[in-house]
Chains A and B, each alone.
Chain A
């Protein structure tokens, strides 16, 4: 969604993840970038170079925090030190919203450092929504949750992933970071129609969108963030923008990271969709975004 209470009433356009190999380029060339997303954990430290770089970036750019280890879905209680460090970083960055994943990753105080999938049960809805509220109350910044890529499903699940996501965010009254690449990856791994997912989620809660590249193996797809965005993911993105309107969009590129220009150029392809959605009157948005989509897809050599 454009400005809403889940993204601090901001109108952010296209951003990219702030990654170490690009530090030098960004600080010396000062390229025009809509905003940067940082991985919170990399800056939840007491001092040193990462914070020095962050402060320099903050002088010039808008920064949004993205976490990887809050584990809303873990039954383990929240870690107080983690919360305090997150809040202190949020004060430093003045992030209008902050995100983390709809997943679990620790149990009995032991951390897997992975984004493990949830069993989609009512019990899990309750646990997860409660923890999201706790984080939001503590950090005092809107919290949005991101759907993850997954490679396994549980026997005990009582609903689909999109129903689970919707139940959680309604109960927590929080926003969504809709990762359309993750939806695509999971749809291939679990044989569902990704458009059913995008069409189901409460569009008014979408605060931000992630796009990324993935890797296809013989029997499954892995969320590697080491490629340009694939045509199928652009198609899902187009549909998400049709439903949500021009929403803050971020390209994730975490491995085999190419030059800054290449990453930024890939991200900026999203602008076509965003402009089409912004310029078109509400009831004409769908055809306008569709035509932007077909232009990009022609470019990438794939037709709709």
Chain B
């Protein structure tokens, strides 16, 4: 026997109440979306005291849950908030976090499924679908680049021995993006105004904390290619040529150097005779940034979360 029948039931019932969206006034709804009465549920499991009803006691946890998630999500996606404005951002945030509650012990992963979720729920970012998706890609890449592993750089000897059939490894913190809007400058501005990133704590919040995020003016579309990477432990957005983007993407996909170079120049305007010099320069720059490594990232810690 599992010995946890009753405990499991209580945890399921309480979590269902706690994780259910608040009303627009940030209170616990009397009735859930599926018709369940929170009043009846609270009274069934929670004991009232001389000052608070069972409903009010449960509501404290319902509010805490959402306040914590809101503040983490807002800190992760200030760029998206600046594009959508506070009200639309709030609606999106509640819907996403209701649809995709955290499945990780770390709040760091709260936004990991936002891109894919928005792909199937574009109504939350209309009419700025592409702009908003570009911003979310960049913001998630930033989070990943911030704390992903850094592998040892490739040594000069190994670098000298590279040939057409070699497979090169890039730093696990590098994220490559092809975007339709130049959201990089915008995000740099928004982040510098918005402040630091979330960290886990174990205290409670008396109220919902809001930060000021400025609404952005319209941004004209322009295709850009970026490497989001880390240098001396700061995250940087490095603009790339289209050719650099194609070459790096092919290398990241595990293709041999020969194939990657072919893909890089397949539709390139760089004249044939300039290509060797172009390649040499690109690789020298990447090597100087420490992007090429001798190994792939650790796999032992990756997995279920």
Measured CB to CB, the residues of A under 8 A from B are 20, 39, 41-42, 44-52, 66, 68-70, 74-75, 79-82, 84-85, 88, 101, 104, 106-116, 119, 121, 123-124, 126-127, 149, 151-157, 189-191, 212, 215, 217, 219-220, 222-226, 252, 254-255
Contacts and interface: CB of A to CB of B under 8 A. Distances in A.
Contacts of B52: 219-220
Interface stretch (B53-61, B125-133, B155-163, B276-284): B53-61
Contact of B104 (A46, A111, A115, A219): A111
Interface string B289-305: 00000000110111111
Given A121-B6, A222-B60, 11 more contacts: A48-B150, A49-B233, A70-B105, A80-B304, A127-B7, A152-B58, A156-B6, A189-B49, A190-B49, A219-B52, A255-B201
Contacts of A66: 202
Nearest to B19: A112
Contacts of B270: none
Interface in B249-296: none
Contact of B60 (A48, A69, A110, A220): A220
A123 B230 contact: no
A279 B66 CA distance: 48
B65 interface: yes
Given A50-B147, A79-B304, A255 B45 contact: no
25 contacts: A41-B106, A45-B108, A46-B301, A47-B148, A47-B150, A48-B146, A48-B148, A48-B173, A50-B147, A75-B4, A79-B305, A80-B303, A81-B302, A81-B303, A111-B103, A111-B105, A113-B69, A114-B61, A114-B64, A114-B68, A116-B61, A119-B10, A151-B57, A152-B61, A220-B51
A123 B104 contact: no
A113 B147 contact: no
Interface stretch (B33-41, B203-211, B220-228, B240-248): B203-211
Contacts of A123: 3-7
Nearest to B298: A46
A152 B57 contact: yes
Interface residues of B, number: 68
A41 B305 CA distance: 13
Nearest to B47: A153
A175 to B, nearest CB: 18
Interface in B165-198: 172-173, 196
Interface of B: 2-8, 10-12, 14-15, 18-19, 44-47, 49-52, 54, 56-58, 60-61, 64-65, 68-69, 72, 101-108, 146-150, 172-173, 196, 199-206, 230, 233-234, 297-298, 300-305
A104 B148 contact: no
B264 to A, nearest CB: 28
Contact of B149 (A47, A84, A106, A224): A47
Nearest to A39: B200
A73 to B, nearest CB: 8
B203 A126 contact: no
B234 A152 contact: no
Contacts of B196: 20
Contact of B19 (A81, A110, A212): A110
Most buried by A among B68, B146, B204, B297: B204
A70 B106 CA distance: 10
B11 A104 contact: yes
Contacts of B303: 80-81
Contacts of A104: 11
Contacts of B148: 46-48
Given A153-B46, A223-B203, A48 B147 contact: yes
A47 B57 CA distance: 40
B204 A149 contact: yes
Among B68, B200, B234, the one with the most A-chain Cβ atoms within 10 Å of its Cβ is B200
Would you list the 10 A-B pairs with minimal beta carbon distance, nearest first? A225-B203, A46-B149, A45-B147, A152-B57, A49-B233, A48-B147, A254-B203, A219-B51, A41-B200, A69-B105
Nearest to A40: B200
A72 to B, nearest CB: 12
A90 to B, nearest CB: 14
B101 A111 contact: yes
